[in-house]
Amino acid sequence: MKLLKSSFPGLSLILLLIAGFAIIELLGSASTMRVATEALIRLVFAVGLYVFSGNSGIVSFGHMSFVAIAAYATTWQTCCAMLKPITMPGLPPFLKDETYPLLNSALTSVALAGAVAFVSGLVLMRLASLSASIATLALLFIVNTVYSNWTSVTMGNSTIVGLPVYVNLQVALVAAIAAIVVAYLFQISAWGLKLRATREDEVAAQASGISLYWPRVIAFTISGVIAGFAGILFAHSTGTVSINSFFLSHTFLIVAMIVVGGMRSLAGTVVGVTLLSVVIEIFRRAEAGISLGSIELAIPPGSQEMILALSMLLILIFRKDGIMAGREITLPKWCRKHRATSERRADTAIQ
Amino acid sequence: MLYFLQVSIDALALGSLYALVALAIGLVFGVMRLINFAQADYITIGAYSLVAPSTAAVPALMFGALHWVPMVAAVLLAVTVLALLTERLAFRPLRNTDTTTLLISSFAVSYFLQSLVLMLHGGRPKTVSIGEGLTSAVELFGLRIPGIQLLTMVVAMALLVVLVVFLKKTSLGVQLRAASENFEMARLLGVPANLVISIAFGISGILGGTISILFVVQTGSLDVRMGLMPAVYAFFATVIGGIGSLPGAVLGGYIVGILSVLLQAYLPVEVRPFRDAVVFAIVIIILLVRPQGLFVTGGAKERV
């Protein structure tokens, strides 16, 4: 019972995801499934970002760099054996002429992203929280500049096509569940608690002997690993990789989702991603145009982004902590009460 | 030697430009604890206000068709009004929240404005030609300097001097500096909060407008992302200088501006495309040595 209570916030999210998955699997069209897959991958990334930003209270604008690093790493290992020597001549021979198994390349790519996250975390987490936020932006720009100009290895700004596609709805679901499990375990671990303490009050946490540095570095590394994992999923769900899709607009999208849902809890992240993915899909279809009888209705392109920005602002103004306001989904009251009374009964029986 | 002189003039011009943007960001941060991402869009929208909204690649001119005096006035006015509007509508309701919320909100405002530009003008880059006479070179002490470079330098330095005089010598300027040092204390001593915040945003609007015109004359093109790089450079400038310190912001602006020009000039050709990455890496290294920035202020950390 105690185990159920402590794991319920994570468990409930997983159950909700599975329920949503079942509905889509049974009723959804092919395009709905594609959208759902994309949303689940976004969720993986958002959960990764949450591990750092949600628990530490420091917004990171740099996590897309880990996505990019992992996505390109897996591209080098698995993509287009025939074309690679021509399109990416700058690769070292062991990448240029070889193709590696999917699982191995996924693991090494995630490890690379994690290693970069660890090293950059060592540097960035020395800064005070606000400066650290800005410095993560520097990280994003560094990675973006390097990858979009290192033409002999990354094909610059052009899109790389032809990666093996193996991420479908099921894979994405499993990945999202794994990410949630990791994030939840971190959150209730000692390091997670320490990090949350620094979020609530830096000075009080320091006074209680909690270092501001190591919990942040560890969280940054774990969240970098999850972000890298999301990068693998992005790359192998569409089969294409382009550095421009791992930049500010995508970052904005995910940050908006987390903020709307509520950055301070895992449930908020899941709710935000789900809700905004639905809203965005509705607007995307509306931008494409809906025909009502003979009338063609379409909203102007760009309004999707404006609605997103506007909803984020309104949430910030009127409900600063997002929809979930920092709460997790806890065991329902009747269930807990029932347990309490039964315990009391047991107590009295003993007496 | 001559090359070096020319490069250093470039460096000074760009440094002054970044110092201006950094000062705008520093002023707003000082009075509100807000790092204003929307500064990038003030610049972009200022530039786009020169042309009429359309999706054409070579659009009809709007403010750009005017004689240069009313043109400059119109652009400055438009951007200042925009800056004041964002303050009134988006940032004022959030005034007393934490810095993280403010940071995210300015990210949202910036994204909103950017999508607005996209919606009105389309996403393709455009060409505009104004101030063609300025691109011809001027001979000065044996150096050939492009007119626009000279103009940028003169305007940026003049604005910087005017701003410093305003901040140091006028009553309003002193109030603004007081508020940016300790907002609560300044209020207790009778500094009107709304006024100083509006002035800080007004100044960032004027600076944004000026920079947008200089940029358009220099490059002759419009792009939705054109304000991004100067604003991002200015963010790093304020962080290097010590967040919340006005002299620090100016110094930081010069550091990043001069660094990027020097690297552009002296990096080996094959590394040159990675210049921005190198500048940002150096920024991070500077922060590694001095995490609080060059000038440590009370604004960097909350007092207990």
In this prediction, residue A349 carries a pLDDT of 47
pLDDT along chain B (304 residues), means of 10: 81 88 89 89 92 78 79 92 93 85 89 89 82 70 74 85 90 89 87 90 93 86 88 90 85 92 88 88 85 70 55
Look up residue B240 and give its two tokens: 């290097």
- Of residues A76, A350, A127, the one with CA closest to residue A231: A76
* Inter-CA distances, B261 with B13, B139, B156, B217, Å: 10, 21, 16, 19
Look up residue B254 and give its two tokens: 């010069």
pLDDT interval class at A344 (50, 70, 90):
low
| CB-CB under 8 Å, B104 with A255 | yes
Mark residue B209 as left, alpha or beta (left: phi above 0; alpha: psi -120 to 50; beta: remaining). alpha
pLDDT interval class at A324 (50, 70, 90):
confident
| CB-CB under 8 Å, A300 with B288 | no
> Under an 8 Å CB criterion, which residues of B touch A?
35, 90, 93-94, 97, 99-101, 103-105, 107-109, 111-112, 114-116, 118-119, 228, 232, 235-236, 239, 243, 273-277, 280-281, 283-284, 287-288, 291-293, 300-302, 304
Nearest chain B Cα distance for residue A104, angstroms? 30
| CB-CB under 8 Å, A150 with B100 | no
Beta bridge partners of B222: B126
pLDDT interval class at A142 (50, 70, 90):
very high
- The residue with tokens 């960035």 is A124
In this prediction, residue A294 carries a pLDDT of 66
* Residue among A126, A127, A310 whose CB faces B112 most closely: A310
Look up residue A351 and give its two tokens: 């007496």
Mark residue B190 as left, alpha or beta (left: phi above 0; alpha: psi -120 to 50; beta: remaining). left
* Residue among B116, B280, B287 whose CB faces A306 most closely: B116
| Number of H-type helices and E-type strands within chain A | 17, 4
- Residue A351's Cβ-count burial label (10 Å; 0-12, 13-18, 19+) is exposed
* Residue among B112, B274, B287 whose CB faces A306 most closely: B112
Contacts of B304 in chain A (CB under 8 A): 203
Q: How far apart are CA B178 and CA A239, in angstroms?
A: 56
Highest mean pLDDT among A183-197, A244-258, B23-37: A183-197
Reduced to 3 states, what is the DSSP secondary structure of residue B297? Answer: coil
| CB-CB under 8 Å, B116 with A308 | no
Contacts of A134 in chain B (CB under 8 A): 35, 235-236, 239
Per DSSP, the residues of B94-162 read GTTS-HHHHHHHHHHHHHHHHHHHHHHH-SS-EE----GGGGSEEEETTEEEEHHHHHHHHHHHHHHHH
Secondary structure (H, E, C), A282-307: HHHHHHHCEEECCEEECCCCCHHHHH
In this prediction, residue B297 carries a pLDDT of 66
* Residue among B105, B277, B302 whose CB faces A146 most closely: B277
The amino acid that residue A252 corresponds to is F
Tell whether ipTM is more than 0.90.
no
In this prediction, residue A310 carries a pLDDT of 87
Reduced to 3 states, what is the DSSP secondary structure of residue A240? Answer: strand
Q: How far apart are CA B8 and CA B202, in angstroms?
A: 31
Q: How far apart are CA A316 and CA A308, in angstroms?
A: 12
- Of residues B93, B110, B80, B109, the one with CA closest to residue B32: B93
In this prediction, residue B299 carries a pLDDT of 52
What chain A holds in terms of domains, given with CATH numbers, is: 2-350 (1.10.3470)
* Residue among B90, B276, B300 whose CB faces A128 most closely: B300
| CB-CB under 8 Å, A312 with B274 | no
In this prediction, residue A222 carries a pLDDT of 96
- Of residues B17, B208, B42, B44, the one with CA closest to residue B126: B44
Q: How far apart are CA A145 and CA A274, in angstroms?
A: 32
| CB-CB under 8 Å, A124 with B118 | no
The amino acid that residue A325 corresponds to is A
Q: How far apart are CA A56 and CA A194, in angstroms?
A: 9
Per DSSP, the residues of B44-81 read HHHHHTTB-S-S-SSPPBSGGGS-HHHHHHHHHHHHHH
Over the stretch A263-283, which tens digit does the pLDDT of each residue have?
888 999 999 999 888 888 888
| CB-CB under 8 Å, A252 with B116 | no
| CB-CB under 8 Å, A306 with B115 | yes
Contacts of A300 in chain B (CB under 8 A): 119
| CB-CB under 8 Å, B115 with A302 | yes
> Parallel, antiparallel, or unpaired for β A240-241 and A295-297?
unpaired
| Prediction pTM value | 0.88
* Residue among A128, A138, A305 whose CB faces B111 most closely: A305
In this prediction, residue A337 carries a pLDDT of 59
Residue in B closest to A301 by C-alpha: B119
Over the stretch A73-95, which tens digit does the pLDDT of each residue have?
999 998 887 788 888 888 888 88
Mean pLDDT of A205-210: 92
